[in-house]
Amino acid sequence: MTRVLAIGKYKEADAQALREEFDAVAIPTPAASATLDDTVRNRIEGVALMGHRPFGADELALLPKLRALSIYGVGFDAVDIAAARARGITVTNTPGVLSDDVADTAIGLWIAVARNFEEGTHLVRSADWAHRPPRLGFTITGRRTGIVGLGRIGREIANRLTGFRSEIHYLARSPKDTPGWTFHADILSLAHAVDDLFIATVGGAETRGMVGADVLAALGPGYVINIARGTVIDEAALIAALDNGPIRGAGLDVFQAEPHVDPCLARHPKVYPLPHIASATVETRARMGALQRSNLRALLAGDPPLTPVT
């Protein structure tokens, strides 16, 4: 008897695993629960969730027996955590297994935008190289770097930055145990202290627009790298800073209204954009799916989850 909903656009391997282990019913969005027969909805105890469509109190109310909500991914800003807790629903995500790939992508974006990789690729592929030389980029080794959020991913970014002889600063709620990295309690203080800013914090209302015009002005002629959530950056302020200074460039894997990206950012010559692929490797996505199912399996069996959202 079906007890699980699989919500979102899963790859076939994960979709098949959810069907085989949980006899999961697949629907595209949380709101689509309303289209299910009442007898199906009323016996759903677990949800495997993929994607960023809102899952709030109204969607939760459609599933009266829900007690386990297992998210595929780290971010949980689309889920109304308070409403879930009020219902006694345990929410889990899949941290840790994707930290390396996301941190690698952040460093890749940093190098690509500072060294004009996209323009250089175009020169070679279009044969324009014969007619004009590539622009000079900027050295990244030895730069002062700031990380907004020193969780698992932020720490892995910092670990990689040590190989570039970076002076590392970070923003967090409280000082962390680090090998001498500089703590900042305020994002403006962080921006004033560094050349480049890596965004690795959570999404949601608490961080919406926190990288705005004031932060970009304090940062000065450096680079902004975002592998967190598009909502953390005020995109209008970023476009203005790219157009008029002082920001030298941005490497972005996430956007506010993705996949519908503001054309001013998507086509900006100072932006190196990616389509939210920081965790998109065969190995990591397999680990994410396995961890999601392990959390769901544990919760349905009445056991403690492996990675609960706190």
Residue 1 has pLDDT above 70, yes or no: no
In a domain, 309, yes or no: no
For residue 64, what are the domain limits?
Answer: 4-97+282-300
Domain containing residue 105: CATH number: 3.40.50.720
308 in any annotated domain: no
Does residue 125 sit in the same domain as residue 89? no
Average confidence score pLDDT of the chain: 96
Residue 305 placed within a domain:
no
Residue 159 has pLDDT above 90, yes or no: yes
Catalytic residues: 229, 258, 276
Flag whether the pTM goes above 0.85.
Answer: yes
Residue-level pLDDT at 245: 87
Same domain? For 140 and 240 the reply is yes
Tally the residues of the chain.
Answer: 310
Q: What is the pLDDT of residue 220?
A: 84
Same domain, 90 and 153: no
Mean pLDDT of 70-74: 96
Same domain for 201 and 267, yes or no, is: yes
Tell whether 130 and 196 lie within a shared domain: yes
The reply to whether 173 falls in a domain is yes
Residues 169 and 267 reside in one and the same domain: yes
DSSP E strands, the chain: 4-7, 25-27, 46-49, 68-71, 90-92, 144-148, 167-171, 182-184, 196-199, 223-226, 249-252, 271-273
Shared-domain flag, residues 147 and 233 = yes
Same domain? 126 vs 198: yes
Query: Could you report the per-residue pLDDT of 73-112, keeping only the tens digit for each?
Result: 999 999 999 999 999 999 999 999 999 999 999 999 999 9
Task: Please check the confidence at residue 310 and state whether its pLDDT lies above 80.
Answer: no
Shared domain for 121 and 49, answered yes or no, is: no
Nearest to 27 by CA among 39, 12, 9: 9
User: Total domain count for the chain?
Assistant: 2
Residue 2 confidence (pLDDT): 72
The DSSP 8-state label assigned to residue 56 in this structure reads: -
- For residues 189 and 263, state if they share a domain: yes
Residues 117 and 262 in one domain: yes
**In the predicted model, what is the mean pLDDT of residues 154-161?**
98
